[in-house]
Structure 1
């Protein structure tokens, strides 16, 4: 009887261990996108999630969680269990928002140390766009008119201190003009407001406006990059026009800090394959964002440098009333 009881106990232990050691992933994965549908992050996340589902043999479900310029969704991801079943696809605003909270004397909703970077997917310079019926044919026209009528025009963004707000503030300061800032809950609503005439201009990633530019509804005036854009090769940069400004609206995939190394390695390998997938590349490029993949080590270094620049930009903007 003792032998039987021992064998039964051993079998139970083996069964419990086997259940605990189920291969990852054994259930669907959530990819949090901290903005509403229709913006840059969303247009990148959906083809990436679809391809990642094929690689991991489990559904990767996109969950849009907009609000507070991305802070609500990023904060939710930071508090998620570090088990590999919650991913975050964020824009470069992840680097901006904690410093913005400190400038506003608020407790940050998350800290950068709460995340491990897995892969950078895209890195797009923002573009300055206006409606096609606007009077400005060039960026010089735009600046000259804004200087003649200080505060008469407005621009939309995805939220205070977000990746559509910071580059416009940088441009305003460098060129010496005034515009009224109108924050929305994401790039999608901001683009809708521009198309509908509620705002006069936007600085945003190409992917959220390229279809409207091609359809003749919007006009691009300049970009914040240091080389020609793949999707808009004739568009001049602000640097070419005399304003030495650069700003990239990149997208990257993160997991909560503490996620097991083995799970991170598996996700990194899957993301490497996703970024190299011709279908994903074509889909993202059609939307306006060529793949600019970096694996975790290179992405971590890039993120650290970019976060330093964004922190300095937020400090220069200062407290918003």
Structure 2
């Protein structure tokens, strides 16, 4: 965050503010938006993916808990799926309601690059990083693959004959598949040639492909596949964290399986790019108040999400660095030119 913006936020805290209550679908700004505080009572939440995946789970958890904890009066969720979130991102660029939060994260960072999106995350207003979650590599219950090495070596040997599904192209799941093949000795061109990856716009689609035996393997967040692993309809081969995942104590890490790869999938929220500092401060206050509740802590434990909370300049700096890192990784593993 630049010095001028930091100064504005400090000034906001010192002002004896005239509080403005929002009407339905948005708050009413004062005549001088930069100097007056704002109170948001009706919030819109956009999930830039189809129902069933991690973004959808995050958006609906936000909606439910924000209203149950009486932090806002209403927080309806709208799903706008497509192209790893970049369809929703383009819509957010044209959003006129400043009281709007869009769920996003590592998946969108990669999708912006692989889809050559004209609208970029940098054009929006960063509000908060919320969670961090390891990924899990799974296969159908009756799969021929007993270990991660079995799966990876078959991709190396037979290429396109092995199908792997997950989230959007260029997202965390796709990146993880590429990184494992890079660790197996393939270069970027070979990965692009051999990796047969089927992207999906929502977690429900990937689950259906795996359960139906239509693909060889799948990759997603632990929370999205956990119930199927516990039910025995999927088998977990490895997790992408640097240590054992409590919900899957018998599943090795990818590193323990012979491939030195650690990758976790963070999620957060952004707002339209043209909101004023008063609205940004109020949206940050809302998510901070939620973060500090026992209800949110319980939700993290239930979902298996790690607390990765950042706001303000810290989140803005993190986001800038993550975009640079992901872009370089995508280039190295041949997913973008």
TM-score calculated relative to the size of structure 1: 0.83
Pairwise mapping of residues 116-265 of structure 1 onto structure 2 (< 5 A)? 116-176=125-185, 178-265=194-281
State the Cα deviation string for residues 253-279 of structure 1 (Å, max 9, x = none). 111223222222222222122223222
Matched residue, 1:36: 50
Counterpart contact for 2:44–2:99, Cα < 8 Å: yes
- C-alpha separation in 2, matches of 1:36 and 1:74: 14
| Closer, same or farther: CA 172–319 of 1 in aligned 2, 3 Å | closer
Deviation (angstroms), 1:179: 4.0
1:70, 1:162 within 8 Å by CA — same for their partners in 2? no
- Give SS of 1:126's match: strand
2:73 maps to 1:58: yes
Worse-superposed segment, 274-283 or 126-135: 274-283
Match of 1:99 among 113, 116, 138: 113
Q: From the superposition, tell whether residues 244 and 319 of structure 1 become closer, same or farther in structure 2 (CA, over 3 Å).
A: closer
Counterpart of 2:83 in structure 1 is 68
Q: Which moves more between the two structures, 301-310 or 202-211? A: 301-310
Deviates further, 58-67 or 281-290: 281-290
After TM superposition, give the deviation of residue 252 of structure 1 in Å: 0.1
**Does residue 296 in structure 1 map to residue 305 in structure 2?**
no
**Partner in structure 2 of residue 48 of structure 1:** 62
Unaligned runs of 5+ in 2: 1-27, 31-36, 187-193
Measure the CA separation in 2 of the matches of 1:296 and 1:235: 36
CA pair 319-134 structure 1, distance change in 2 beyond 3 A:
closer
1:317 CA displacement: 4.1
Distance in 1 between residues matched to 2:74 and 2:301, nearest whole Å = 23
Coordinate RMSD, CA, aligned = 2.4
Conserved? CA contact 1:224–1:248, under 8 Å: yes
Where in structure 2 are the equivalents of 1:305-320 lying within 5 Å?
A: 305-318=321-334
Q: Is 1:77 aligned with 2:92?
A: yes
Instruction: Report if aligned partners of 2:113, 2:327 keep a CA contact under 8 Å in 1.
Output: yes
* 3-state SS of 1:149 partner: helix
CA distance in 2, matches of 1:62, 1:167: 29
Cα offset for 1:281?
2.8
Of structures 1 and 2, the larger Rg is shown by 1
CA–CA distance in 2 between the matches of 1:234 and 1:292? 25
- CA deviations on 1:63-113 (whole Å, 9 max, x unpaired) are 1111112211122112212x53221111212222332234xxxxx231222
Cα offset for 1:23? Answer: 4.9
Unpaired segments of 5 or more residues in structure 1?
A: 1-18, 103-107
* CA gap 1:237/1:272 in 2 versus in 1, 3 angstroms: same
Distance 2:108 2:197 in 1: 20
Corresponding position of 2:23: none
Residue 294 of structure 1: how far off its partner (Å): 2.0
